[in-house]
Chain A
Amino acid sequence: MVWQRSRVRLDNDNRAFWTGGADGKLNIARCGDCGGFIHPPREVCRHCLSDKVAPFAVAGTGVIDSYTVNHQAWAKDMPVPFVIARVALDDAPGVYLTTNIVGCPVEDVDIDDRVRVVFEEQDGIWYPLFEKVA
């Protein structure tokens, strides 16, 4: 997909998530006290209210919780159709990432398919996309 993705404005909370791909890492905020994951990332743990929250590199594997094949070109240069999916990460309970499933025909995607992260860089942002695990 060569379509120009929305550019995310980086801040202290989200920088590790959107730039971790430079090192091949999918960073999800995690609490140093209770071990819970906080997504979207915030400086406070939504589980125990600790403020010892820091980025944590997860494995980048998961399962498709649900998906939709988008046929509507919401922007002029948006190539359609493509798959928008919610991926549940294997090792970050309760976290879902909205993403695209790439590298396969849209009709090959289904709920419960196993996937792993691949990064697409545009202008300093590493967008985490997912492809099916063969």
Chain B
Amino acid sequence: MSEVGVRLARSPLGLTLDAVREAIADAGLTLDQIDGVATYPGKMQAFLGFSPIGADDVIEAFGLTTRWHVGAAETTAQLGAIAEAAAAVKAGLARHVICFRTVYEAAAMARPDEFPPMERRKDVTGNSQWVSPFGAFSAANWTAQFATRHMKRYGLTREQLAQVAINDHANAALNPRAIVKQPLSLDTYMSARMISTPFCLYDCDRFTDCSTVVIVSAGDALDEVRTIPVRIAASAGSVERYSWDQAEWASAYPTGRDLWKNTDYRVDDVDTVQLYDGFSFQPITWLEGLGFCPVGEGGRFLEGGKRIARDGDLPMNTGGGQLGWGRLHGFGFAYEAVVQLRGEGGARQIGGNPRVAVATSGGGPMAAALLLARD
């Protein structure tokens, strides 16, 4: 992982280079052993801060000779790129795949001449035409409506939502790479300004500049790797509706159910969860969808915050999540799961010698989940 920050001067390619260097050094590999590249969502020229670096940029700039690569938004959320890499190495298409996500939204917003933002006032087409004309520009507006419904149906409270942000801040304060350095009190949370009810400022992640890299290697190539390997025990992903406003449920529910279909591991085996939290509500859908609690009970599962704390029954978002670490856009969860399973979390390392972790991404209409195990 590169430096994580807000309005960094280093270029997006430079951040990506930093993250790749660290990852291959950690794995004990060299660049000439890398024969695959996977990224989400690929380069997006229309909104460069969101995804300024594509698979082609990495292949070209780093002089890679690849046999397989992919970079696409039309997959099962961010971690779908890692699942695709796993499928590729299993099929023999590659042996060592660099999977990366480079985000540059904070710097891009500060330098619009260099990184032109999407023009909100222009003619809208595609799915945005069904939401933008009504002022629903942000995923905060779309996700908030699912949270409102959960409150009405199941009694979710703002105090319960707050536990996601409070837990994230507490963990981020122990993570030297996190953008948040201070714990968050319930009072500060409750008095923060509203963005889109029930979400206040602390329920929404913050634009961040960073590159995160995970290397996926074939099982029969592990003799070339000099680090503690973590196995992808299962993966799952789904899309509810591409047009968000037509989705009845978050895709975390079918994705969570599917994760357990091709593995002997069960919910009780999981030592830590790293659950996508671009908004505080999304971990609730993941806890319910993955089966850690019944549907409708996610808020009560979070109540008081003890269960999800580092010393709780199910430590959650131990690196600080997106509300504390920064908006690494999904890849931070896979990264942190690996850190915890290797016991390399330093001050934020959980106890109990963790062996099994779940990492997720998405949680609106697109979702992906990975079950990771240290043998």
Which residue numbers of A lie inside 8 Å of B, CB to CB? 3-9, 11, 14, 39-40, 65-72, 74-75, 78, 81-82, 84-86, 94-100, 110-111, 125, 127, 129
B130 and A40 contact, CB distance less than 8 A = yes
Query: Which residues of B are found within 8 Å of A67, using beta-carbon distances?
Result: 145, 148
A sample of 20 inter-chain contacts (CB < 8 A) reads A3-B135, A6-B123, A7-B123, A8-B123, A9-B125, A39-B246, A40-B127, A65-B149, A70-B135, A70-B141, A71-B197, A72-B195, A74-B138, A75-B137, A82-B135, A86-B145, A96-B246, A98-B142, A99-B134, A127-B134
Residue on B with the closest CB to A125?
Answer: B133
B1 is an interface residue with CB less than 8 A from chain A: no
**The 8 A-B residue pairs with the shortest CB-CB distance in the complex, in nearest-first order:** A68-B144, A9-B123, A66-B145, A6-B132, A66-B149, A74-B137, A71-B194, A98-B245
Residue on B with the closest CB to A129?
Answer: B134
The answer to whether A98 and B123 touch (CB under 8 A), given A65-B149, A68-B141, A86-B245, is: no
In the complex, A14→B126 CA distance in Å? 10
Which of B120, B134, B193, B195 is within 8 Å of A98, CB to CB?
A: B134
B249 is an interface residue with CB less than 8 A from chain A: no
Residue on B with the closest CB to A68?
Answer: B144
B228 is an interface residue with CB less than 8 A from chain A: no
In the complex, A81→B197 CA distance in Å? 10
B146 is an interface residue with CB less than 8 A from chain A: yes
Query: Which residues of A are found within 8 Å of B197, using beta-carbon distances?
Result: 68-69, 71
Query: Which residues of B are found within 8 Å of A82, using beta-carbon distances?
Result: 135
B152 and A111 contact, CB distance less than 8 A = yes
Which of A6, A11, A129 is within 8 Å of B121, CB to CB?
A: A6
In the complex, A94→B124 CA distance in Å? 24
A90 to chain B, nearest CB (A): 17
Which of B121, B124, B146, B196 is within 8 Å of A84, CB to CB?
A: B196
Interface size on B, residues (CB 8 A): 38
Which of B121, B128, B133, B196 is within 8 Å of A69, CB to CB?
A: B196
Residue on B with the closest CB to A112?
Answer: B152
B124 and A98 contact, CB distance less than 8 A = no
B110 is an interface residue with CB less than 8 A from chain A: no
In the complex, A38→B193 CA distance in Å? 38
In the complex, A129→B134 CA distance in Å? 8
Which residue numbers of B lie inside 8 Å of A, CB to CB? 120-125, 127-138, 140-142, 144-149, 152, 193-199, 243, 245-246
Given A7-B122, A9-B123, A72-B196, 9 additional A-B pairs, CB 8 A: A6-B120, A8-B124, A70-B135, A74-B135, A75-B120, A82-B135, A84-B135, A84-B136, A85-B145
Query: Which residues of A are found within 8 Å of B144, using beta-carbon distances?
Result: 68
In the complex, A4→B120 CA distance in Å? 11
Query: Which residues of B are found within 8 Å of A110, using beta-carbon distances?
Result: 152
Query: Which residues of A are found within 8 Å of B199, using beta-carbon distances?
Result: 68
Which of A5, A70, A94 has the most chain B CB within a 10 Å cutoff? A70
B130 and A72 contact, CB distance less than 8 A = no
B124 and A9 contact, CB distance less than 8 A = yes
Query: Which residues of B are found within 8 Å of A111, using beta-carbon distances?
Result: 148-149, 152
A68 and B145 contact, CB distance less than 8 A = yes
In the complex, A84→B133 CA distance in Å? 11
Query: Which residues of A are found within 8 Å of B147, using beta-carbon distances?
Result: 68
Query: Which residues of A are found within 8 Å of B140, using beta-carbon distances?
Result: 72
B135 and A8 contact, CB distance less than 8 A = no
Which of B122, B134, B145 is within 8 Å of A100, CB to CB?
A: B134
Query: Which residues of A are found within 8 Å of B196, using beta-carbon distances?
Result: 68-72, 84
In the complex, A39→B127 CA distance in Å? 11
Query: Which residues of B are found within 8 Å of A95, using beta-carbon distances?
Result: 246
Residue on A with the closest CB to B144?
Answer: A68
Query: Which residues of A are found within 8 Å of B124, using beta-carbon distances?
Result: 6-9
A66 and B148 contact, CB distance less than 8 A = yes
Query: Which residues of B are found within 8 Å of A39, using beta-carbon distances?
Result: 246
Query: Which residues of B are found within 8 Å of A40, using beta-carbon distances?
Result: 127, 130, 243, 246
In the complex, A95→B248 CA distance in Å? 10
